[in-house]
Amino acid sequence: NAGVTQTPKFQVLKTGQSMTLQCAQDMNHNSMYWYRQDPGMGLRLIYYSASEGTTDKGEVPNGYNVSRLNKREFSLRLESAAPSQTSVYFCASSGQGAWEKLFFGSGTQLSVL
Amino acid sequence: GQQVMQIPQYQHVQEGEDFTTYCNSSTTLSNIQWYKQRPGGHPVFLIQLVKSGEVKKQKRLTFQFGEAKKNSSLHITATQTTDVGTYFCAGQGQAGTALIFGKGTTLSVSS
């Protein structure tokens, strides 16, 4: 099993460019999440999807959009990238129980110049 | 909104010394989880605590959940260089809501 797969691993954008981060899981999990990690800030939740067809805002949703394409895939889109969005982005998934552990992808390191 | 605070932010120890990180929530939690992130890696689940006053052990690691279910701790006995990394606690309020992570404690170990 691959678990949670994120693409790309690295990306450099210019301010104002757009891009989509892709995430797929093969564990038949209901819930999927996007976090960003910045030095000294821990992991902050951007958006999550508790089940196919639903999405909800997390702590820091501004500047981002998400799409739960199907049960396997959850993408994160930056419509107009800003330097403040330079970060490491992690996708995660969890099973359908009420209290489930998260499985993380390997991350995407994004730099916005 | 729910906040999860974790201290200390950094800790350096000599190999063989003990290490503890503490986690406090602004609200009562349904459960708390602990994750470890090795340098350059992604967070990996360590353990989940659900019951008030619960204590769980994994070899040299001891995890506690407070009686009021608002605080937790991770204690490592006799640290080894393999313990290096950042330890995160993550709290969940009501069932089905998203986990909120603390800022993490970064542990460095010198031999």
| Contacts A–B by Cβ distance under 8 A | 55
Q: How confident is the model at residue B51 (pLDDT cuts 50, 70, 90)?
A: very high
Q: Per-residue pLDDT for A40 more than 90?
A: no
Q: What is the DSSP letter of A10?
A: E
Give the residues across from A74 on adjacent strands: A68
pLDDT tens per residue, range B54-88: 999 999 999 999 999 999 999 999 999 999 999 99
Chain A contact present for B95, CB below 8 A: yes
Q: Would you state the pLDDT for residue A2?
A: 81
Any chain A CB within 8 A of the CB of B39? no
CB contact under 8 A, A40 and B95: no
* Secondary structure (DSSP) of A33-70: EEEEEETTTEEEEEEEESSTT--EE-S--TTEEEEE-S
Confidence band, pLDDT 50/70/90 cuts, at residue A98: low
Query: Do A88 and A37 form a contact (C-beta atoms < 8 A)?
Result: yes
Those residues of chain A whose CB sits closer than 8 Å to some CB in chain B are: 33, 35, 40-45, 48, 50, 56, 58-59, 90, 98-99, 101-107
Residues of B in contact with A30 (CB under 8 A): none
Q: What angle do CA A67, A100, B64 make, to 5 degrees?
A: 135
Interface mutation target, options B29, B101, B105, chain A, most CBs of A under 10 Å = B101
Residue B95 C-alpha, separation from nearest chain A C-alpha, in angstroms: 5
Q: Mind telling me how many Å the CA of A61 is from chain B's nearest CA?
A: 14
